[in-house]
Amino acid sequence: MEDIRSTLQSKIANHTADVGVIGLGYVGLPMCIEFAKAGFRVTGIDKDANRIAQLKENRSYILDVDQTTLRSISTKLHPTTDFQALSAVDVVIICVPTPLRKTKDPDLSFILSATSEVANFLHRGQLIILESTTYPGTTDEVILPELQQKGLHVGQDFFLAFSPERIDPGNKVYSIRNTPKIVGGVTQACGELAELLYQSITEKVVRVSSSKSAEMVKLLENTFRAINIGMVNEVAIMCDKLGIDTWEVIEAAATKPFGYMAFYPGPGLGGHCIPVDPHYLSWKLKTLNYSARFIELAGEINGSMPLYVVNKIFDALNEDSKSVKGANVLILGMAYKRNSNDVRESPALDIFSLLQAKGARVSYHDPFVSSVVIEANNYSSAALSPSTLQQSDCVVIVTDHETYDWQFVANHSKLIVDTRNATRSVLKGNCRIVKL
């Protein structure tokens, strides 16, 4: 047992271990790049043949990864669709999606599929790490039994840990290297090896007592944000009813140097984490006959925000004696957050669909999203020109990309519904601006 562990420990410490990453999306591809930069030989596996073809040509499909970076590590990164490559690696990192079903139950199908492939090629001396966000207990209760079917023993023959991803698409300040990495092993030996591995690519690794604790850390982070965003979204609704400027209140409260953390309202939650992860925790607690009431309430409020925005648009058009039916509505920003091309769970998709259902003629512009599929239909980003803005009865700001010139938008628009307070420093001119 000690020889197996010490051999893997030595390979990791010397950066001679072969690292395999399953899932080359927003999490997996940056992870591949960091290990390749550190000198490891990396095998990236994805079922999407188009992704693999692009990577082999050093072409990136992720905004945060540029071609120059891909070229610089091309001799170290080996992309493939063939899971048999797992038989030759020392470390396997699973970075697959964990969406929700329509019933808000966890969809572990991607994790189960990846685990099955890992089990097929599992051999002594391998370290397996799950990074996909999931409910506490998944690593121990779902992955471990599958991997032990061959008679290998965790902590002796192979090693298993959980380390939650902390990727923030579009963030120019925090990356894998300067964001502390949480790790939790199924056994102490598992945790120690995972800690050693991530120390090679991150400045700080925080090891917790178990994989279950590490899984809970990720859910706490995102549940904290979801609940506080839900609270401030409700504050925005209350301020609207009271005739108070929400943003003035928040900015004034944010001057308090202690006991307060500013959160900001918006058109709803988006991305792969905050709208999804708290429901994994809520679902797990339901199996233990406990209702996570804060999560459920925040989910209800945040989930209702796209409709709240659409009602704001109705009222704003009505003040201009216009009906939403037949109105030209231009949505600015399809991504769920600024400076990103990520449209997963974006509230802009819901706002687009809701407006269309009411008879509006809807278009969008997003400098990072050239096209998008909404309810099985493909739409392309419209040009952001004076004529496009002038022909719009209402311009809706959903994503506050820094590339937008808000004064230009205001100069050529008649009516703006601003859900992000993006126009706070704009000289309004003849444009009427309605805020959340």
- Residue 365 tokens read as 């512009």
Eight-state DSSP code of residue 83: G
Q: How far is CA 145 from the centre of its chain?
A: 28
- Residue 250 tokens read as 């928040």
Where helices occur in 14-143 by DSSP H, the ranges are 28-37, 49-56, 67-72, 109-120, 138
C-beta of residue 186 within 8 angstroms of C-beta of residue 152: no
**To which residue do tokens 């370290």 refer?**
127
C-beta of residue 202 within 8 angstroms of C-beta of residue 181: yes
Give CA–CA dist 407/166, Å, rounded: 34
The arrangement of strands across the sheet holding 91-94 comes to 77-80, 41-45, 18-22, 91-94, 127-130, 159-162, 181-185, 205-207
Where helices occur in 57-154 by DSSP H, the ranges are 67-72, 109-120, 138, 144-147
C-beta of residue 127 within 8 angstroms of C-beta of residue 89: no
Residue positions counted in the chain: 436
Query: Which residues carry out catalysis?
Result: 273
